Amino acid sequence: MEKIWTKIKVFDFYMTMKKTTLKEYGIILAGSFLFCAGLNWFIVPMGLYNGGTVGISQIIRSLLQLNTSFDIAGILNFILNIPLLFLAYFHFGRSLFLKTFFSIVTQTILFTFIPIPTQPIIQEYAVSCLMGGILAGVGVGITLKAGGSGGGLDILGLYFTQKIKDFGVGRFTLIINGMIYCACAILFELPVAIYSVLYSMVYSMAVDKTHLQNINTSVMIFTKKKDVYEVILKELHRGVTYWKGIGGYTDTDTYVIYTVLSKYEVRTLQQKLYEQDPDAFVVVTEQDQILGNYEVRL
């Protein structure tokens, strides 16, 4: 009877996870729309440029000067992301690949078909940077919050972070975007580069406010199965401390397992934990600061 009850709990958990996954794809779609709308409605009409692969695509589009009825920057961005998608699939797992692929495809479609005003909606550069940065930043923020990404430099930066010691994704993105805006200053006009940087700053702040990067959590697990700690060591590659305790209500032996995870690793732990011990009791607490040997991940 206990085995049947355990299977029912696991089935209920997977059904919940399936609904959550569909919700996440809906959020990614909404995020793609906000990102593309912010660019096409406020940034592109002012002749300004995004960073990353989208910015590179916009520069290529401007240099080609093709007379098309739609913006080809989205298609160029998709082409640039093809090798990066392969990198995501082979190095970062199926879940990130599928959500990133979905995000890039929806961005490509929306970039192409969201109309670009022939006259800027707002004539003032600073206000356009503000509006475009907020819309685009919130869009990317909720996409990241749903477990996806827009591809591009995030994937490449994460790959180099794993291969090179003391290499950061933020540092890599900053270097590439610096090169992009220097190219804008050389190829176009200096004010174009300056206002593009302003837009990028607003965009970055909006992303951070929507999706708090690297939220760290302390996790304490109470379980009767000692093997649960191996899930954290082998699946999440995080350090674990555990000790024996006694349940106050049942007066039986139990294991207390303590670890520190990022917010986005907690869900993976939850899934694995339901497979190992559906009756485990878990306490998750957000931490403002963690000192010592803790690996910060994207």
> What pLDDT, on the 0 to 100 scale, is given for residue 95?
72
pLDDT of 181: 92
* pLDDT for res 43: 93
**For residue 82, pLDDT beyond 80:** yes
Q: Output the pLDDT for position 18.
A: 60
The yes-or-no verdict on residue 88 having pLDDT over 60 is: yes
What percentage of the chain exceeds 70 in pLDDT? Answer: 80
Phi, psi of 238 (to 5 degrees): -115, 150
Structure confidence by residue, pLDDT tens digits, 190-239: 999 999 999 988 988 888 777 655 567 888 989 888 788 888 888 778 88
pLDDT score at 158: 67
Q: Is the pLDDT of residue 168 over 70?
A: no
Whole-number pLDDT of residue 218: 86
Q: What is the pTM of this model?
A: 0.69
- Confidence class for position 13, pLDDT limits 50, 70, 90: very low
What mean pLDDT is predicted for residues 53-63? 89
Q: Over pLDDT 90: what percentage of the chain?
A: 21
Amino acid 17: pLDDT:
47
Range among 2-11, 41-50, 265-274, 289-298 with highest mean pLDDT value = 41-50
What is the chain's alpha carbon radius of gyration, rounded to the nearest angstrom? 23
Distance CA 16, CA 242 (A): 29
Question: Of 11-15, 56-60, 190-194, 269-273, which range is least confident?
Answer: 11-15
Query: For position 249, what pLDDT does the model report?
Result: 79
Kindly indicate the confidence band of residue 291, based on its pLDDT and cuts at 50, 70 and 90: low
The full DSSP string for the chain is: -HHHHHHHHHHHHHHHHHHHHHHHHHHHHHHHHHHHHHIIIIIGGGT---SHHHHHHHHHHHHHT---SS-THHHHHHHHHHHHHHHHHHHH-HHHHHHHHHHHHHHHHHHHHSPPPSS-SS--HHHHHHHHHHHHHHHHHHHHHTT----THHHHHHHHHHHSTT--HHHHHHHHHHHHHHHHHHHS-HHHHHHHHHHHHHHHHHHHHHS-TT-EEEEEEEES-TTHHHHHHHTS----EEEEEE-TTT--EEEEEEEEEEHHHHHHHHHHHHHH-TT-EEEEEEES---SS-----
Query: Which pLDDT score, from 0 to 100, does residue 34 have?
Result: 95
Structure tokens given for 141: 């923020």
CB 241 within 8 A of CB 259: yes
Positive/negative CA dihedral, 25, 31, 35, 40: positive
In this prediction, residues 228-252 reach a mean pLDDT of 83
Which pLDDT band holds residue 84 (cuts at 50, 70, 90)? confident
pLDDT digits (tens, 9 = 90+) for 256-288: 989 888 776 777 788 788 788 888 888 888 766
Mean pLDDT calculated for residue range 168-187? 80
Q: What's the rounded mean pLDDT across residues 170-176? A: 71
Share the mean pLDDT of the chain: 81
pLDDT of residue 9: 47
